[in-house]
């Protein structure tokens, strides 16, 4: 079975619709009438749900790569055509996961870390269940110290003026 940007056989293209509903950027959320808005994390996760796209992202790593290099890698590893690879890159681009720039006749792709931060932030809530309550506790401790300092300073002023 061939996996393309339209999803897998049986999903009816639902993943592609989720990506397209994301308004093209990881920071954007949009709504389809009668459906809740698509959260930025949903757009990025939908784009990354496809193994070919995840592998393209791994090829990009921390360096820019030409579209031709990515097409060759996808052809070698997955046996997919240039148009299929271009479609996968388009989905990643529309989700804000990669950016592209022209350099002469070449198109250079790179990972957009901001989009991946959206997913990281979402996952952090599950990975560190104590982080949020401890942050709140830290805030309250600082607030308590501040209030004690203000109260002590007020008392000294009152004693000095009396």
Q: What are the domain boundaries of the chain?
A: 14-116, 128-161
Confidence of residue 146 (pLDDT cuts 50, 70, 90): confident
3-state secondary structure of 108: strand
> For residue 106, what are the β-bridge partners?
103
Residue 119 has pLDDT above 60, yes or no: yes
Averaged pLDDT for residues 114-127:
86
pLDDT digits (tens, 9 = 90+) for 58-109: 999 989 999 999 999 999 999 999 999 999 999 999 999 999 999 999 999 9
Query: What gap in Å lies between CA 9 and CA 146, rounded to an integer?
Result: 60
Query: What gap in Å lies between CA 131 and CA 127, rounded to an integer?
Result: 9
> For residue 4, what are the β-bridge partners?
7
pLDDT value at position 40? 87
pLDDT value at position 38? 54
Confidence of residue 4 (pLDDT cuts 50, 70, 90): very low
- % of the chain surpassing 90 pLDDT: 43
DSSP string, 126-146: HH-TTHHHHHHHHHHHHHHHH
**Average pLDDT of the residues of the chain:** 77
Residue 27 has pLDDT above 60, yes or no: no
pLDDT value at position 126? 79
Is 97 within 8 Å of 28 (Cβ atoms)?
no
For 14-116, CATH number out of 3.40.50.300, 1.10.10.10, 1.10.3720.10, 1.20.1090.10 equals 1.10.10.10
Averaged pLDDT for residues 111-140:
79
pLDDT value at position 32? 55
């Amino acid at each position: 079975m061939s996996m393309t940007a339209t999803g897998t056989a049986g999903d009816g293209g639902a993943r592609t619709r989720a990506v397209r509903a994301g308004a093209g950027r990881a920071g954007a959320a949009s709504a389809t009438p009668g459906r809740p808005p698509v959260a930025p994390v949903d757009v990025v996760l939908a784009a990354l749900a496809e193994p070919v796209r995840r592998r393209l992202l791994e090829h990009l790593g921390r360096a820019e790569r030409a579209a031709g290099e990515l097409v060759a890698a996808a052809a070698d590893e997955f046996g997919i055509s240039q148009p299929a690879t271009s479609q996968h890159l388009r989905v990643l681009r529309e989700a804000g996961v990669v950016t592209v720039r022209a350099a002469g006749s070449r198109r250079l792709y790179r990972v957009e870390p901001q989009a991946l931060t959206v997913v990281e932030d979402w996952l952090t809530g599950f990975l560190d269940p104590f982080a949020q309550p401890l942050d709140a506790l830290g805030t309250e401790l600082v607030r308590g110290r501040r209030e004690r300092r203000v109260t002590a300073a007020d008392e000294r002023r009152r004693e000095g003026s009396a």
